[in-house]
Amino acid sequence: MIRDITLGQYYQTESVIHRLDPRTKLLGTLVYLISLFIFTKPWVFVTAAVFLLLVLVLSRVPLKFMLKGLRPIIFILLFTIIVNMFWIKGTVLVSWWKLSITVEGLKQAGSMGTRLILLILGSNLMTLTTTPTRLTNAMESLMRPLKLIKVPVHEIAMMMSIALRFIPILLEETDRIMKAQLARGADFESGNVFKKAKSLVPVLVPLFISAFRRANDLAMAMEARCYHGGKGRTQYKPLKYKARDFVAYFILVLYVAAVIVIGKFIT
């Protein structure tokens, strides 16, 4: 159950998307996310979905695996759709008591839902095809100009990469501790909300202790290897754009152009 969260989890396989420079993927994802919010037209969403599907096929990540990433947001998704459905005023379609569904509401709910799904899937695809290390390398590289105004770019990137690196470890740890407590007769499923919350104490306490222990060990190991922050630090594998990245940027520009054309001129 705990393994369903795919955020920050890398899907290991060999594909052109995996090999792309992480900066390309990061900027590409950013552009993609923005493209979802410029227009609210069905054809734009179709274009975006097709584009995503294309990248997915190229990435060789199984569709099933990526869809799993939607599971944690099902509640938010339903909430958004329902609120939008009843909230928006307009031409009434169905109504009973004080609630009414309008045509505009349905449209809004549909577009918000689609937007949310594509948003999550799009960013999921990035984390599935990029290792956390490469992702933070990309962030560090893209944020480098901020160093001029004294933003500790390297330190921020390091913290993020550690945080990302620890997500799967902590998930595994949670799984292990839950199993250990289940073996002692714990019951995480029955009872009301309060009982359920209380039943998690035997999981959370060991989890926190273990997180602190790991943080401590890691700090010690980093100091033992003379880590002293970003000053004068070079990289083992500096990021370099390759021909395929320019192709990817070109495709991205085409996609944006397509979205604008479709959004502006097709009704």
Name the residues that contact another protein, by CB under 8 A.
11-13, 62, 64-65, 176-177, 179-187, 201-202, 205-206, 209-210
Look up tokens 């307009």; give the residue. 90
Query: How many CB atoms neighbour CB 240 within 10 A?
Result: 7
Residue 59 vs 108, nearer CB to another protein = 59
How far is 9 from 165, CA to CA, in rounded Å?
9
Minimum distance of another protein from residue 16's CB (angstroms): 16
Residue 43 vs 65, nearer CB to another protein = 65
Q: Where do the H-state alpha helices sit in 60-152?
A: 63-67, 74-87, 103-129, 132-143
Minimum distance of another protein from residue 206's CB (angstroms): 5
Residue 41 vs 176, nearer CB to another protein = 176
Residue 107 vs 214, nearer CB to another protein = 214
How far is 210 from 175, CA to CA, in rounded Å?
13
Burial class, 20, CB count within 10 angstroms (exposed 0-12 / middle 13-18 / buried 19+): buried
Minimum distance of another protein from residue 240's CB (angstroms): 27
Residue 126 vs 178, nearer CB to another protein = 178
Minimum distance of another protein from residue 59's CB (angstroms): 12
Closest by alpha carbon to 156, among 166, 168, 165, 143?
143
Closest by alpha carbon to 11, among 50, 88, 53, 63?
63
Minimum distance of another protein from residue 239's CB (angstroms): 25
Residue 86 vs 188, nearer CB to another protein = 188
Minimum distance of another protein from residue 125's CB (angstroms): 15
* Three-state secondary-structure class, residue 152: coil
How far is 221 from 216, CA to CA, in rounded Å?
9
